[in-house]
Amino acid sequence: MVKSVKERPFSIAQKISEEDSIVWLKESNKYIILDSTILELIKKKSGLSSKDFITLITESLQVIRSVAIRINKEISELLTETKKVQLKTSIKHPIKVKSCKIIQYYSFNNTTIKVCFDTEETKLLIHQKYKHLDIDNTNNYGVEYKIFNSDNKLFIFKNNKIVGSWDNTRLHEFQGKFSMEIICSFYNKTEHDWMGVFHASTISKNNHSIMFTGDSGNGKSTLVSVLMANGFNVIADDFSPILRSDLKTYCFPAAISIKEKSFNLIEQLYPDNINSQEYYISELKGNVKYLPPISEETSANCSSVVWVKYSEGSENSMKKVSIQYALQKFLPDAWISNKEVNAKAFLKWIKKTAFYELNYSDNNKLIAIINRYFYPF
């Protein structure tokens, strides 16, 4: 049960085992795991002088005073940490919206959006991932976006109101924001209707989804592409949103990014579907091709998260891991809304979710493992 903690430096604590609780720090929008002894100490800290609290630590933990002083310092720093505020570029004069005459219409979930670009170069930053959603010119669209480059900054406007601007060096943040805009527009939601978005690829079958997360280069996109060829729906690739109201994953309809080392495999599985053109992304990711996702489900329940580790020649295995281990792995790259209602939803979701670690190298054995663990019927 999620419980509110009144007059504490944190807002919500959720017990996840006999010894540990996960705690949401409101000011920094961070989640930490504390053992029950430390959590009880923090609850008692309010109203105590530093000297009295150090004495309490000494007696409760049975440690020497120098250790208690260090623990007091660490707890104080933790609880006084404030949210990092992203510095916004000051705008000294009104932004002149550039002419955006390159127009694309993208349609999904019975909704169409209009996206206008200033140049073909700017269009290339977005269009290839949504090319399969492209439709002919229409006046029947819900939202209009203008995307342009000015003074070495990328701008997004929505219905002639600025969404934000990003230096050209912050391309990943720009694309992430546009991804959020996409799902809000296609599902008629606001940003904080979403509990969070995870750096994960997600598949589904029979209204049950599995979220695959892991370090870049561990084969998440290849994995879901292989599973898609074997009858699974692809809900999302690398950007998996969960809606607060029902705690389901929702389809993010961007194309799957296939890295160069997987070209041959994916071209064998999808000879007619994969985009033949290669696109250079970055030094880390190299060249990619784009594969349109196939999904008969736009949303699905999600109570399984799998940390993926691909290693050529390794044993194929799956094991359950603790919440503590899982959070250390997949939370750093996640975006969780900083609204308290979403923090409560996240802790509720965490409580009912099972976490696993998958090591694989053989695609056929991979499919058997996934079916055995999650779809035995």
Per-residue pLDDT of the chain (377 residues), as tens digits, is 333 333 355 668 888 888 888 888 888 888 888 888 888 888 888 788 889 999 999 998 999 999 999 998 988 887 776 444 444 444 445 677 888 999 999 999 999 999 999 999 999 999 999 999 999 988 999 999 999 999 899 999 999 999 999 999 999 999 999 999 999 999 999 999 999 999 999 999 999 999 999 887 778 899 999 999 999 999 999 999 999 999 999 999 999 998 888 888 888 888 887 766 777 666 556 788 899 999 999 999 999 999 998 887 788 899 999 988 888 888 888 999 999 999 999 999 998 999 999 998 888 888 899 999 898 76
The Cα 299–Cα 235 span in angstroms is 7
130 token code pair: 């949504």
**Rounded CA separation 208/32 (Å):** 28
Task: For residue 116, list its beta bridge partners.
Answer: 103, 146
3-state SS, residue 196: strand
**Pairing verdict, β 286-291 and 279-282:** antiparallel
CA distance 242 to 258: 24
CB within 8 Å of 257: residues ≥ 6 apart: 129, 221, 237, 238, 281, 285, 288, 290
Q: What is the pLDDT of residue 301?
A: 96
Angle, CA of 284, 286 and 287, to the nearest 5°: 155
pLDDT confidence of residue 376: 73
Domains of the chain, earliest start first: 3-80 (no CATH), 102-188 (no CATH), 194-374 (3.40.50)
Whole-number Å distance between alpha carbons of 287 and 277 = 10
DSSP class of residue 246 equals: T
Q: What is the DSSP letter of 183?
A: H
